[in-house]
Chain A
Amino acid sequence: MRRIDRALTNFWDHIVAESERPLVVTAGEALYHSDFLRIRTGSEHVLLKLRGKAVAISGTDAELIHLLLLLDGTASSILLLPNDMQTDQKEEFFGQCGIEAEATLVGEELEVNKIPASSETLKLSDTKGGRTDWIIPTSGTSGTPKLVAHNLKSLTRTTKFNREVGRDIRWGLSYSISRFAGIQIMLQSLLSGSTLLVASPEASFSEKADFFATNHCNAISATPTFWRKLLMVNHESDLNLKVITLGGEIADQQILNALSKKYPEARITHIYASTEAGVGFAVRDHLEGFPAAFVRDGVEGAELKIEQDGTLRIKPHTANQKFISTDIDVDADGFIDTGDLVEEKSDRYVFLGRRSGSINVGGNKVMPEEVENLLLKSGLLKGVKVYGKANPIMGNLVSADVIPNSASQDQKILKKELKSYCSANIESFKRPAFFKVVSDFDLNASGKISRN
Protein backbone atom coordinates (compact mmCIF):
# COMPACT_ATOMS: atom_id res chain seq x y z
CA MET A 1 0.00 0.00 0.00
CA ARG A 2 1.35 3.41 -0.93
CA ARG A 3 0.30 6.92 -0.35
CA ILE A 4 1.44 9.94 -2.25
CA ASP A 5 4.78 10.97 -0.81
CA ARG A 6 4.61 14.36 0.82
CA ALA A 7 7.86 15.41 -0.79
CA LEU A 8 6.76 14.55 -4.30
CA THR A 9 4.11 16.80 -5.69
CA ASN A 10 4.19 16.03 -9.37
CA PHE A 11 1.38 13.96 -10.89
CA TRP A 12 3.59 12.70 -13.71
CA ASP A 13 6.18 11.30 -11.29
CA HIS A 14 3.55 9.18 -9.60
CA ILE A 15 2.06 7.36 -12.54
CA VAL A 16 3.17 3.81 -13.05
CA ALA A 17 5.77 3.36 -15.77
CA GLU A 18 4.53 0.07 -17.06
CA SER A 19 5.20 -1.15 -20.57
CA GLU A 20 2.71 -4.04 -20.75
CA ARG A 21 -0.50 -2.31 -19.83
CA PRO A 22 -1.91 0.88 -21.31
CA LEU A 23 -2.68 3.68 -18.86
CA VAL A 24 -5.61 4.91 -20.91
CA VAL A 25 -7.71 3.28 -23.62
CA THR A 26 -9.90 5.49 -25.80
CA ALA A 27 -12.24 4.45 -28.62
CA GLY A 28 -9.37 4.99 -31.06
CA GLU A 29 -6.17 4.03 -29.29
CA ALA A 30 -4.38 2.53 -26.32
CA LEU A 31 -2.07 5.01 -24.61
CA TYR A 32 0.98 3.61 -22.83
CA HIS A 33 3.41 5.33 -20.52
CA SER A 34 5.74 5.76 -23.50
CA ASP A 35 3.05 7.69 -25.40
CA PHE A 36 2.59 10.12 -22.53
CA LEU A 37 6.37 10.44 -22.23
CA ARG A 38 6.71 11.26 -25.93
CA ILE A 39 4.09 14.02 -25.69
CA ARG A 40 5.76 15.32 -22.55
CA THR A 41 9.18 15.45 -24.20
CA GLY A 42 7.71 17.12 -27.28
CA SER A 43 5.99 19.76 -25.13
CA GLU A 44 8.94 20.73 -22.96
CA HIS A 45 9.68 24.02 -24.68
CA VAL A 46 6.02 25.10 -24.38
CA LEU A 47 5.80 23.90 -20.79
CA LEU A 48 8.70 26.20 -19.83
CA LYS A 49 6.54 29.17 -20.74
CA LEU A 50 3.82 28.00 -18.37
CA ARG A 51 6.04 27.63 -15.32
CA GLY A 52 4.41 29.34 -12.35
CA LYS A 53 1.45 30.50 -14.42
CA ALA A 54 -2.26 30.14 -13.76
CA VAL A 55 -3.54 28.09 -16.69
CA ALA A 56 -7.05 27.16 -17.82
CA ILE A 57 -7.46 23.87 -19.68
CA SER A 58 -10.27 22.46 -21.80
CA GLY A 59 -10.80 19.58 -24.21
CA THR A 60 -12.07 16.02 -24.37
CA ASP A 61 -11.59 13.77 -21.35
CA ALA A 62 -8.54 12.16 -22.94
CA GLU A 63 -7.03 15.59 -23.70
CA LEU A 64 -7.68 16.78 -20.15
CA ILE A 65 -5.77 13.78 -18.79
CA HIS A 66 -2.80 14.69 -20.98
CA LEU A 67 -3.00 18.34 -19.92
CA LEU A 68 -3.17 17.54 -16.20
CA LEU A 69 -0.17 15.22 -16.50
CA LEU A 70 1.76 17.90 -18.35
CA LEU A 71 0.89 20.88 -16.19
CA ASP A 72 0.84 19.55 -12.64
CA GLY A 73 4.05 20.64 -10.95
CA THR A 74 4.68 23.28 -13.62
CA ALA A 75 1.70 25.63 -13.57
CA SER A 76 0.86 27.43 -10.33
CA SER A 77 -2.77 26.52 -10.83
CA ILE A 78 -4.89 24.66 -13.34
CA LEU A 79 -8.52 25.63 -13.92
CA LEU A 80 -10.55 22.81 -15.47
CA LEU A 81 -13.18 24.19 -17.80
CA PRO A 82 -16.27 22.09 -18.45
CA ASN A 83 -17.14 21.83 -22.12
CA ASP A 84 -20.57 23.35 -21.73
CA MET A 85 -19.35 26.50 -20.02
CA GLN A 86 -20.87 29.84 -21.08
CA THR A 87 -18.44 32.55 -22.23
CA ASP A 88 -19.40 35.11 -19.60
CA GLN A 89 -19.05 32.50 -16.86
CA LYS A 90 -15.65 31.56 -18.22
CA GLU A 91 -14.47 35.17 -18.13
CA GLU A 92 -15.66 35.54 -14.57
CA PHE A 93 -13.68 32.42 -13.60
CA PHE A 94 -10.59 33.70 -15.42
CA GLY A 95 -10.83 36.87 -13.37
CA GLN A 96 -11.35 35.04 -10.08
CA CYS A 97 -8.37 32.74 -10.64
CA GLY A 98 -6.10 35.24 -12.35
CA ILE A 99 -5.79 32.98 -15.38
CA GLU A 100 -2.79 33.93 -17.53
CA ALA A 101 -3.01 31.37 -20.28
CA GLU A 102 -5.34 28.81 -21.82
CA ALA A 103 -3.83 25.46 -22.81
CA THR A 104 -5.23 22.82 -25.15
CA LEU A 105 -3.83 19.73 -26.79
CA VAL A 106 -4.00 19.68 -30.57
CA GLY A 107 -2.95 16.27 -31.81
CA GLU A 108 0.19 15.71 -29.75
CA GLU A 109 1.05 19.41 -29.52
CA LEU A 110 0.53 21.52 -26.44
CA GLU A 111 -0.94 24.83 -27.57
CA VAL A 112 -1.07 27.94 -25.45
CA ASN A 113 -3.21 31.00 -25.70
CA LYS A 114 -2.11 33.95 -23.56
CA ILE A 115 -4.82 35.81 -21.72
CA PRO A 116 -4.36 39.57 -21.23
CA ALA A 117 -4.26 40.34 -17.52
CA SER A 118 -7.43 41.89 -16.21
CA SER A 119 -7.13 44.87 -13.87
CA GLU A 120 -9.35 43.28 -11.23
CA THR A 121 -7.42 40.05 -11.29
CA LEU A 122 -7.01 38.39 -7.95
CA LYS A 123 -3.84 36.36 -7.91
CA LEU A 124 -4.27 33.00 -6.30
CA SER A 125 -0.88 31.48 -6.92
CA ASP A 126 0.74 31.32 -3.52
CA THR A 127 1.82 27.75 -4.16
CA LYS A 128 4.57 26.47 -1.99
CA GLY A 129 7.18 24.04 -3.17
CA GLY A 130 5.81 23.81 -6.70
CA ARG A 131 2.48 22.41 -5.63
CA THR A 132 -0.13 23.11 -8.28
CA ASP A 133 -3.70 24.00 -7.41
CA TRP A 134 -6.35 22.11 -9.35
CA ILE A 135 -9.34 24.40 -9.55
CA ILE A 136 -12.52 22.44 -10.16
CA PRO A 137 -15.80 24.25 -10.71
CA THR A 138 -18.61 22.56 -8.78
CA SER A 139 -22.00 22.39 -10.37
CA GLY A 140 -23.17 24.94 -7.82
CA THR A 141 -26.33 24.23 -5.91
CA SER A 142 -27.21 27.89 -5.72
CA GLY A 143 -27.33 28.11 -9.49
CA THR A 144 -23.88 29.64 -9.98
CA PRO A 145 -20.86 27.32 -10.07
CA LYS A 146 -18.38 27.63 -7.26
CA LEU A 147 -14.64 27.33 -7.61
CA VAL A 148 -12.74 25.13 -5.19
CA ALA A 149 -8.96 24.70 -5.33
CA HIS A 150 -7.52 21.30 -4.55
CA ASN A 151 -4.11 19.84 -5.19
CA LEU A 152 -2.72 16.40 -5.89
CA LYS A 153 -2.04 15.73 -2.24
CA SER A 154 -5.46 16.84 -1.01
CA LEU A 155 -7.24 14.95 -3.77
CA THR A 156 -5.45 11.72 -2.92
CA ARG A 157 -5.33 12.07 0.84
CA THR A 158 -7.69 9.20 1.62
CA THR A 159 -7.08 7.18 -1.52
CA LYS A 160 -5.09 3.99 -1.20
CA PHE A 161 -2.96 3.06 -4.12
CA ASN A 162 -2.37 -0.63 -4.13
CA ARG A 163 -0.59 -1.55 -7.31
CA GLU A 164 -0.98 -5.28 -6.71
CA VAL A 165 -4.74 -4.80 -6.86
CA GLY A 166 -4.61 -1.89 -9.27
CA ARG A 167 -2.91 -3.77 -12.09
CA ASP A 168 -5.96 -5.99 -12.57
CA ILE A 169 -8.47 -3.14 -12.61
CA ARG A 170 -9.89 -1.58 -15.76
CA TRP A 171 -11.96 1.48 -14.87
CA GLY A 172 -14.77 2.61 -17.13
CA LEU A 173 -14.95 6.41 -16.92
CA SER A 174 -18.58 7.48 -16.53
CA TYR A 175 -17.96 11.06 -15.42
CA SER A 176 -16.28 13.90 -17.25
CA ILE A 177 -12.70 14.64 -16.21
CA SER A 178 -13.72 18.26 -15.63
CA ARG A 179 -15.88 17.07 -12.73
CA PHE A 180 -14.60 16.27 -9.27
CA ALA A 181 -15.83 12.66 -9.51
CA GLY A 182 -14.06 12.19 -12.85
CA ILE A 183 -10.79 13.50 -11.42
CA GLN A 184 -11.04 11.07 -8.52
CA ILE A 185 -11.38 8.06 -10.83
CA MET A 186 -8.59 9.26 -13.09
CA LEU A 187 -6.24 9.59 -10.10
CA GLN A 188 -7.30 6.26 -8.65
CA SER A 189 -6.65 4.56 -11.98
CA LEU A 190 -3.41 6.22 -13.07
CA LEU A 191 -1.78 6.17 -9.65
CA SER A 192 -2.55 2.50 -9.01
CA GLY A 193 -1.31 1.23 -12.34
CA SER A 194 -4.82 0.43 -13.56
CA THR A 195 -6.17 1.07 -17.05
CA LEU A 196 -8.71 3.86 -17.58
CA LEU A 197 -11.28 3.33 -20.33
CA VAL A 198 -12.42 6.61 -21.86
CA ALA A 199 -15.33 6.35 -24.30
CA SER A 200 -15.66 8.69 -27.24
CA PRO A 201 -17.33 11.99 -26.30
CA GLU A 202 -19.95 11.33 -28.99
CA ALA A 203 -20.85 7.81 -27.79
CA SER A 204 -24.48 7.12 -26.88
CA PHE A 205 -25.18 5.35 -23.61
CA SER A 206 -25.42 1.94 -25.31
CA GLU A 207 -22.21 2.57 -27.24
CA LYS A 208 -20.46 3.53 -24.04
CA ALA A 209 -21.68 0.34 -22.36
CA ASP A 210 -20.48 -1.64 -25.39
CA PHE A 211 -17.10 0.09 -25.31
CA PHE A 212 -16.68 -0.79 -21.64
CA ALA A 213 -17.68 -4.42 -22.22
CA THR A 214 -15.44 -4.87 -25.28
CA ASN A 215 -12.49 -3.49 -23.35
CA HIS A 216 -13.01 -5.80 -20.35
CA CYS A 217 -14.03 -3.08 -17.97
CA ASN A 218 -14.29 -4.50 -14.43
CA ALA A 219 -14.75 -1.35 -12.36
CA ILE A 220 -17.14 1.57 -12.73
CA SER A 221 -17.88 4.53 -10.53
CA ALA A 222 -21.11 6.24 -11.55
CA THR A 223 -24.35 7.86 -10.46
CA PRO A 224 -27.29 5.66 -9.40
CA THR A 225 -29.05 6.86 -12.59
CA PHE A 226 -26.15 5.60 -14.70
CA TRP A 227 -26.36 2.22 -12.93
CA ARG A 228 -30.11 1.96 -13.48
CA LYS A 229 -29.58 2.68 -17.16
CA LEU A 230 -26.80 0.11 -17.34
CA LEU A 231 -29.16 -2.47 -15.87
CA MET A 232 -31.65 -1.54 -18.59
CA VAL A 233 -29.33 -2.10 -21.57
CA ASN A 234 -28.50 -5.52 -22.90
CA HIS A 235 -24.74 -5.22 -22.72
CA GLU A 236 -24.48 -5.46 -18.99
CA SER A 237 -24.34 -9.23 -19.18
CA ASP A 238 -20.92 -8.85 -20.80
CA LEU A 239 -19.54 -6.86 -17.93
CA ASN A 240 -17.76 -8.78 -15.25
CA LEU A 241 -17.63 -6.14 -12.57
CA LYS A 242 -15.42 -6.43 -9.50
CA VAL A 243 -15.74 -2.87 -8.30
CA ILE A 244 -18.98 -0.88 -8.26
CA THR A 245 -19.11 2.62 -6.86
CA LEU A 246 -22.14 4.89 -6.66
CA GLY A 247 -22.01 8.63 -6.08
CA GLY A 248 -23.32 12.03 -7.10
CA GLU A 249 -26.90 11.26 -6.15
CA ILE A 250 -28.61 9.54 -3.27
CA ALA A 251 -28.10 5.78 -3.61
CA ASP A 252 -31.42 4.14 -2.71
CA GLN A 253 -31.82 0.65 -1.35
CA GLN A 254 -33.45 -0.56 -4.61
CA ILE A 255 -30.41 0.14 -6.77
CA LEU A 256 -28.04 -1.26 -4.13
CA ASN A 257 -30.11 -4.46 -4.02
CA ALA A 258 -30.34 -4.71 -7.80
CA LEU A 259 -26.57 -4.35 -8.17
CA SER A 260 -25.77 -6.86 -5.40
CA LYS A 261 -28.04 -9.35 -7.11
CA LYS A 262 -26.68 -8.77 -10.61
CA TYR A 263 -23.03 -8.65 -9.58
CA PRO A 264 -22.76 -10.87 -6.48
CA GLU A 265 -18.95 -10.90 -6.69
CA ALA A 266 -18.54 -7.13 -6.86
CA ARG A 267 -17.42 -4.87 -4.04
CA ILE A 268 -20.22 -2.28 -3.91
CA THR A 269 -19.56 1.08 -2.32
CA HIS A 270 -21.63 4.20 -2.24
CA ILE A 271 -19.79 7.42 -1.79
CA TYR A 272 -20.95 10.58 -0.19
CA ALA A 273 -18.78 13.41 -1.44
CA SER A 274 -19.17 17.07 -0.84
CA THR A 275 -17.20 19.08 -3.36
CA GLU A 276 -17.08 21.88 -0.82
CA ALA A 277 -15.43 19.63 1.78
CA GLY A 278 -13.02 18.10 -0.72
CA VAL A 279 -13.51 14.47 0.17
CA GLY A 280 -16.47 12.67 1.70
CA PHE A 281 -16.78 9.12 2.91
CA ALA A 282 -17.60 5.65 1.66
CA VAL A 283 -20.31 3.24 2.81
CA ARG A 284 -19.62 -0.42 2.12
CA ASP A 285 -22.38 -2.37 3.87
CA HIS A 286 -24.80 -2.34 0.90
CA LEU A 287 -27.31 -0.33 2.92
CA GLU A 288 -28.59 3.13 2.03
CA GLY A 289 -27.50 6.14 4.06
CA PHE A 290 -24.66 5.75 6.57
CA PRO A 291 -24.22 4.31 10.08
CA ALA A 292 -24.89 6.72 12.95
CA ALA A 293 -21.50 5.61 14.29
CA PHE A 294 -19.90 7.83 11.63
CA VAL A 295 -21.31 10.85 13.45
CA ARG A 296 -20.19 9.59 16.88
CA ASP A 297 -16.73 8.39 15.90
CA GLY A 298 -15.93 10.18 12.64
CA VAL A 299 -15.05 8.50 9.37
CA GLU A 300 -11.79 8.18 7.55
CA GLY A 301 -10.40 11.65 7.11
CA ALA A 302 -13.34 13.60 8.49
CA GLU A 303 -15.66 14.39 11.37
CA LEU A 304 -19.39 14.76 10.89
CA LYS A 305 -21.94 16.92 12.62
CA ILE A 306 -25.70 17.06 12.18
CA GLU A 307 -27.42 20.41 12.74
CA GLN A 308 -30.83 20.75 14.40
CA ASP A 309 -32.51 21.15 11.02
CA GLY A 310 -30.86 17.95 9.75
CA THR A 311 -28.06 19.65 7.80
CA LEU A 312 -24.91 17.56 7.49
CA ARG A 313 -21.65 19.34 8.20
CA ILE A 314 -18.22 17.85 7.50
CA LYS A 315 -14.85 18.74 8.93
CA PRO A 316 -11.91 17.30 7.00
CA HIS A 317 -9.00 16.36 9.26
CA THR A 318 -6.71 18.66 7.37
CA ALA A 319 -7.75 21.83 5.62
CA ASN A 320 -7.20 20.51 2.16
CA GLN A 321 -8.57 23.11 -0.15
CA LYS A 322 -8.90 26.81 -0.53
CA PHE A 323 -12.20 28.41 -1.32
CA ILE A 324 -12.03 30.85 -4.15
CA SER A 325 -15.72 31.53 -4.22
CA THR A 326 -16.64 33.15 -0.94
CA ASP A 327 -20.10 31.77 -0.27
CA ILE A 328 -19.00 28.48 1.26
CA ASP A 329 -20.11 28.30 4.88
CA VAL A 330 -17.60 27.04 7.47
CA ASP A 331 -18.56 27.25 11.15
CA ALA A 332 -16.31 28.28 14.04
CA ASP A 333 -15.19 24.68 14.61
CA GLY A 334 -14.21 24.18 11.00
CA PHE A 335 -17.25 22.16 9.93
CA ILE A 336 -18.29 22.85 6.35
CA ASP A 337 -21.97 23.18 5.47
CA THR A 338 -22.75 20.52 2.87
CA GLY A 339 -26.29 21.77 2.22
CA ASP A 340 -27.50 18.17 2.44
CA LEU A 341 -30.30 17.12 4.78
CA VAL A 342 -30.27 13.81 6.63
CA GLU A 343 -32.69 12.02 8.92
CA GLU A 344 -31.90 9.44 11.61
CA LYS A 345 -33.60 6.09 11.13
CA SER A 346 -32.72 3.09 13.31
CA ASP A 347 -29.08 3.89 13.99
CA ARG A 348 -28.46 5.13 10.46
CA TYR A 349 -28.74 8.44 8.71
CA VAL A 350 -30.47 8.53 5.35
CA PHE A 351 -30.20 11.40 2.90
CA LEU A 352 -33.32 13.45 2.28
CA GLY A 353 -32.04 15.87 -0.38
CA ARG A 354 -30.81 19.44 -0.52
CA ARG A 355 -31.84 22.02 2.06
CA SER A 356 -32.14 24.59 -0.71
CA GLY A 357 -34.87 22.50 -2.33
CA SER A 358 -32.52 21.91 -5.28
CA ILE A 359 -33.75 18.85 -7.16
CA ASN A 360 -31.32 16.18 -8.36
CA VAL A 361 -32.65 14.76 -11.62
CA GLY A 362 -30.35 11.90 -12.55
CA GLY A 363 -27.29 13.86 -11.38
CA ASN A 364 -28.42 17.20 -12.88
CA LYS A 365 -29.25 19.90 -10.39
CA VAL A 366 -32.43 21.87 -10.86
CA MET A 367 -33.25 24.96 -8.83
CA PRO A 368 -37.01 25.18 -8.23
CA GLU A 369 -36.96 29.00 -8.33
CA GLU A 370 -35.54 29.00 -11.85
CA VAL A 371 -38.27 26.70 -13.15
CA GLU A 372 -40.93 28.68 -11.27
CA ASN A 373 -39.78 31.89 -12.96
CA LEU A 374 -39.79 30.27 -16.37
CA LEU A 375 -43.30 28.89 -15.82
CA LEU A 376 -44.64 32.24 -14.65
CA LYS A 377 -43.37 33.80 -17.87
CA SER A 378 -45.80 31.58 -19.78
CA GLY A 379 -48.57 33.96 -18.75
CA LEU A 380 -50.78 30.94 -18.06
CA LEU A 381 -50.43 30.95 -14.29
CA LYS A 382 -51.07 33.09 -11.26
CA GLY A 383 -48.79 31.06 -9.06
CA VAL A 384 -46.49 28.06 -9.23
CA LYS A 385 -44.54 25.92 -6.79
CA VAL A 386 -41.88 23.56 -8.12
CA TYR A 387 -40.50 20.61 -6.16
CA GLY A 388 -38.96 17.17 -6.65
CA LYS A 389 -40.99 13.98 -6.76
CA ALA A 390 -39.21 10.69 -6.09
CA ASN A 391 -38.77 8.56 -9.21
CA PRO A 392 -37.45 5.00 -9.48
CA ILE A 393 -35.34 5.73 -12.56
CA MET A 394 -33.96 9.26 -12.26
CA GLY A 395 -34.02 9.61 -8.48
CA ASN A 396 -36.31 12.62 -8.78
CA LEU A 397 -38.44 14.33 -11.37
CA VAL A 398 -39.53 17.93 -11.36
CA SER A 399 -43.17 18.50 -10.35
CA ALA A 400 -45.20 21.66 -10.22
CA ASP A 401 -48.29 22.77 -8.34
CA VAL A 402 -49.92 25.48 -10.40
CA ILE A 403 -52.63 28.09 -9.79
CA PRO A 404 -54.28 28.90 -13.12
CA ASN A 405 -55.16 32.46 -14.11
CA SER A 406 -58.81 31.58 -14.00
CA ALA A 407 -60.33 29.00 -11.71
CA SER A 408 -62.81 27.96 -14.38
CA GLN A 409 -60.12 26.98 -16.87
CA ASP A 410 -60.26 23.42 -18.23
CA GLN A 411 -57.45 21.54 -16.47
CA LYS A 412 -56.67 19.21 -19.35
CA ILE A 413 -56.23 22.07 -21.79
CA LEU A 414 -54.12 24.02 -19.30
CA LYS A 415 -51.80 21.05 -18.73
CA LYS A 416 -51.43 20.60 -22.47
CA GLU A 417 -50.60 24.27 -22.94
CA LEU A 418 -48.10 24.16 -20.10
CA LYS A 419 -46.39 21.11 -21.56
CA SER A 420 -46.04 22.62 -24.98
CA TYR A 421 -44.74 25.84 -23.40
CA CYS A 422 -42.16 23.78 -21.46
CA SER A 423 -41.07 21.83 -24.56
CA ALA A 424 -40.27 25.12 -26.27
CA ASN A 425 -38.75 27.04 -23.37
CA ILE A 426 -37.28 24.79 -20.70
CA GLU A 427 -34.39 22.32 -20.85
CA SER A 428 -35.69 18.75 -20.81
CA PHE A 429 -34.42 17.68 -17.37
CA LYS A 430 -35.85 20.87 -15.82
CA ARG A 431 -39.35 20.43 -17.28
CA PRO A 432 -42.00 19.41 -14.79
CA ALA A 433 -43.19 15.89 -15.53
CA PHE A 434 -46.32 16.58 -13.49
CA PHE A 435 -48.60 19.50 -13.09
CA LYS A 436 -51.12 19.59 -10.29
CA VAL A 437 -53.73 22.30 -10.44
CA VAL A 438 -54.30 23.77 -6.99
CA SER A 439 -56.17 26.79 -5.69
CA ASP A 440 -53.52 27.86 -3.20
CA PHE A 441 -50.28 26.81 -1.51
CA ASP A 442 -48.47 27.55 1.71
CA LEU A 443 -46.31 30.60 2.02
CA ASN A 444 -43.85 30.95 4.86
CA ALA A 445 -43.58 33.89 7.26
CA SER A 446 -41.61 35.97 4.77
CA GLY A 447 -44.23 35.46 2.09
CA LYS A 448 -42.11 33.01 0.13
CA ILE A 449 -43.12 29.59 -1.04
CA SER A 450 -42.63 27.12 1.79
CA ARG A 451 -40.25 24.43 0.56
CA ASN A 452 -40.22 21.97 3.40
Chain B
Amino acid sequence: MDIRNHIISTYNEVLSYTDAELQVEELANDTVLLESGLDSLGFATLVAELEEELGYDPFVMMDEPIYPTTFGEFVELYETYKDEKN
Protein backbone atom coordinates (compact mmCIF):
# COMPACT_ATOMS: atom_id res chain seq x y z
CA MET B 1 0.00 0.00 0.00
CA ASP B 2 1.39 3.45 -0.81
CA ILE B 3 1.66 6.07 1.87
CA ARG B 4 -1.42 8.03 0.82
CA ASN B 5 -3.67 4.98 0.94
CA HIS B 6 -2.12 3.90 4.18
CA ILE B 7 -2.90 7.29 5.69
CA ILE B 8 -6.47 7.22 4.36
CA SER B 9 -7.12 3.79 5.78
CA THR B 10 -5.66 4.71 9.18
CA TYR B 11 -7.58 7.99 9.08
CA ASN B 12 -10.82 6.03 8.69
CA GLU B 13 -9.96 3.74 11.58
CA VAL B 14 -9.31 6.73 13.84
CA LEU B 15 -12.59 8.31 12.70
CA SER B 16 -14.56 5.34 13.91
CA TYR B 17 -12.55 5.07 17.15
CA THR B 18 -13.24 8.71 18.00
CA ASP B 19 -16.95 8.55 17.03
CA ALA B 20 -16.34 11.14 14.32
CA GLU B 21 -17.61 11.31 10.75
CA LEU B 22 -15.96 12.47 7.59
CA GLN B 23 -17.17 16.03 6.91
CA VAL B 24 -16.08 16.09 3.27
CA GLU B 25 -16.91 13.79 0.34
CA GLU B 26 -13.40 12.46 0.17
CA LEU B 27 -9.98 13.32 1.50
CA ALA B 28 -8.48 15.47 -1.25
CA ASN B 29 -5.23 17.41 -1.35
CA ASP B 30 -6.99 20.69 -0.58
CA THR B 31 -9.15 19.33 2.26
CA VAL B 32 -8.50 21.40 5.38
CA LEU B 33 -7.42 18.90 8.02
CA LEU B 34 -9.24 20.36 11.01
CA GLU B 35 -12.45 20.66 8.98
CA SER B 36 -12.29 17.13 7.58
CA GLY B 37 -13.92 15.34 10.50
CA LEU B 38 -11.09 14.58 12.91
CA ASP B 39 -10.53 17.06 15.70
CA SER B 40 -7.07 17.79 17.11
CA LEU B 41 -7.28 14.77 19.41
CA GLY B 42 -8.13 12.65 16.37
CA PHE B 43 -5.12 14.02 14.52
CA ALA B 44 -2.86 13.40 17.43
CA THR B 45 -4.13 9.81 17.45
CA LEU B 46 -3.65 9.52 13.68
CA VAL B 47 -0.04 10.68 13.93
CA ALA B 48 0.55 8.23 16.76
CA GLU B 49 -1.06 5.32 14.86
CA LEU B 50 0.95 6.10 11.76
CA GLU B 51 4.13 6.15 13.76
CA GLU B 52 3.34 2.66 14.95
CA GLU B 53 2.43 1.40 11.50
CA LEU B 54 5.00 3.17 9.33
CA GLY B 55 7.75 3.29 11.90
CA TYR B 56 8.38 7.04 11.84
CA ASP B 57 6.91 10.35 12.96
CA PRO B 58 7.77 13.25 10.65
CA PHE B 59 6.78 15.75 13.33
CA VAL B 60 9.72 14.77 15.50
CA MET B 61 12.08 14.40 12.54
CA MET B 62 11.73 17.86 11.02
CA ASP B 63 14.24 20.55 11.86
CA GLU B 64 11.86 23.37 11.04
CA PRO B 65 8.49 22.65 12.60
CA ILE B 66 5.59 22.47 10.14
CA TYR B 67 1.96 22.19 11.14
CA PRO B 68 0.12 21.09 8.00
CA THR B 69 -3.15 22.77 7.08
CA THR B 70 -4.40 20.52 4.28
CA PHE B 71 -4.54 16.78 3.75
CA GLY B 72 -2.16 17.16 0.81
CA GLU B 73 0.45 18.81 3.03
CA PHE B 74 -0.02 16.10 5.62
CA VAL B 75 0.60 13.31 3.09
CA GLU B 76 3.56 15.19 1.65
CA LEU B 77 5.19 15.32 5.09
CA TYR B 78 5.02 11.54 5.37
CA GLU B 79 6.32 11.11 1.84
CA THR B 80 9.19 13.51 2.44
CA TYR B 81 10.42 11.77 5.56
CA LYS B 82 9.81 8.22 4.30
CA ASP B 83 13.43 7.67 3.31
CA GLU B 84 14.92 9.29 6.39
CA LYS B 85 13.63 6.75 8.84
CA ASN B 86 16.19 4.50 10.40
| Residue ranges of A at the interface with B (Cβ–Cβ < 8 Å) | 205-206, 225, 228-229, 231-234, 254-255, 257-258, 261, 361-362, 389, 391-394, 397, 419, 422-423, 428-429, 431, 433-434
Which of A228, A232, A233, A429 has the most chain B CB within a 10 Å cutoff? A232
**Structural contact, B45 and A234, CB atoms closer than 8 A:** no
- Please count the residue pairs between chain A and chain B whose beta carbons lie under 8 angstroms apart in the complex: 76
Which of these, A229, A389, A392, contacts B59 with CB under 8 Å?
A392
User: How would you classify the secondary structure of chain B's contact residues: helix, strand, loop or mixed?
Assistant: helix
A391 to B52, CA, bound (A): 13
B67 to A, closest residue via Cβ:
A231
Question: How far apart are the CA atoms of A228 and B18 in the complex, in Å?
Answer: 20
Interface positions of B from 4 to 46, Cβ below 8 Å from A: 16-19, 32-35, 39-41, 43-45
Tell me whether A428 and B19 are in contact (CB under 8 A). Answer: yes
Residues of B within 8 A of A258 (CB): 65-67
Give the residue of B40, B45, B52, B60 whose beta carbon is less than 8 angstroms from that of A229: B40
Partner of B44, one of A233, A234, A255, A362: A362
CB distance B47 to A392 under 8 Å? yes
Does B76 lie at the interface of the complex (its beta carbon under 8 Å from any beta carbon of A)? no
A392 contacts which chain B residues (CB < 8 A)?
A: 44, 47, 57, 59-60
* B67 A232 Cβ-Cβ under 8 A: yes
Q: Contact residue range for chain B?
A: 20 to 34
Identity of the chain A residue whose Cβ is nearest the Cβ of B62 in the assembled complex: A254
Give 20 A-B pairs besides A229-B40, A392-B59, A419-B17 with Cβ atoms closer than 8 angstroms.
A228-B67, A233-B32, A233-B34, A233-B69, A254-B59, A254-B65, A257-B64, A258-B67, A261-B65, A394-B41, A394-B44, A397-B45, A423-B17, A428-B18, A428-B19, A428-B41, A433-B44, A433-B45, A434-B48, A434-B52
Determine whether the beta carbon of A232 is less than 8 Å from that of B44: no
Q: Which of B33, B35, B48, B69 contacts A389 (CB 8 A)?
A: B48
Task: Give chain B residues whose Cβ lies under 8 Å from the Cβ of A361.
Answer: 41
Which residue of chain A has its CB nearest to the CB of B18? A428
Binding site for A on B (CB under 8 A): 16-19, 32-35, 39-41, 43-45, 47-49, 52, 57, 59-60, 64-69
Contact across chains for A232 and B34 when beta carbons are under 8 A apart: yes
A225 to B48, CA, bound (A): 16
B67→A391 contact, CB < 8 A = no
In the bound complex, CA of A23 to CA of B34 (Å) = 31
**B16 contact set on A, CB distance < 8 A:** 423
Residues A394 and B40 in contact, CB atoms below 8 Å apart: yes
CA distance in complex: A414, B26 (Å): 30
Q: Which of B35, B44, B68 is within 8 Å of A391, CB to CB? A: B44
Residue among A205, A225, A391, A428 making CB contact with B47, cutoff 8 Å? A391
CB–CB B47/A393 < 8 A: yes
Neighbour of B65 across the interface among A225, A255, A391, CB < 8 A: A255
- CB-CB under 8 A from A205, the residues of chain B are 34, 39-40
Tell which of B48, B57, B66, B69 touches A433, judged by Cβ atoms closer than 8 Å.
B48
Give every chain B residue within 8 A of A431 (Cβ-Cβ).
17
Which B residues touch A232, using CB under 8 A?
33-34, 40, 43, 67-69
Roughly how many angstroms separate A391 CA and B18 CA in the complex, as a whole number? 17
Q: Is the CB of A228 within 8 A of B49?
A: no
* B17 in contact with A257 (CB, 8 Å): no
- Taken together as a complex, chains A and B put the C-alpha atoms of A428 and B43 apart, in Å, by 13
In the complex the two chains form, is B69's CB within 8 Å of A228's CB?
no
Q: Which residues of B contact A261 (CB under 8 A)?
A: 64-65
Please, how many angstroms separate the alpha-carbon atoms of A423 and B69 in the complex? 27
Q: How far is the CA of A389 from the CA of B52 in the complex (A)?
A: 12
28 example contacts (A-B, Cβ-Cβ < 8 A) are as follows: A205-B34, A206-B32, A206-B34, A206-B35, A225-B40, A232-B43, A232-B68, A232-B69, A233-B35, A233-B69, A234-B32, A234-B69, A257-B65, A258-B65, A258-B66, A261-B64, A391-B47, A392-B59, A392-B60, A393-B43, A393-B47, A393-B59, A423-B16, A428-B18, A428-B41, A433-B44, A433-B45, A433-B49
Which A residue's beta carbon lies closest to that of B48? A433
Q: Name the residue in B16, B34, B52 with the highest tally of chain A Cβ atoms < 10 Å from its Cβ.
A: B34
Specify the chain A residue showing the minimal Cβ separation from B66.
A258
Residue of B32, B48, B57, B66 contacting most chain A CB atoms (<10 Å): B48
Name the CB-closest residue of A to B74. Answer: A232
Using Cβ atoms and an 8 Å threshold, which residues of chain A touch B35? 206, 233
Query: Which single residue of chain A is at the shortest CB-CB distance from B20?
Result: A428
Q: What residues of A have a CB within 8 angstroms of the CB of B47 in the complex?
A: 391-393
CA distance A228 to B44 in the complex (A): 11
Residue of B nearest to A422 (CB): B17
Question: A431 to B49, alpha carbons, bound, how many Å?
Answer: 14
Given contacts A206-B35, A229-B34, A428-B18, contact A393 B44 (CB under 8 A): yes
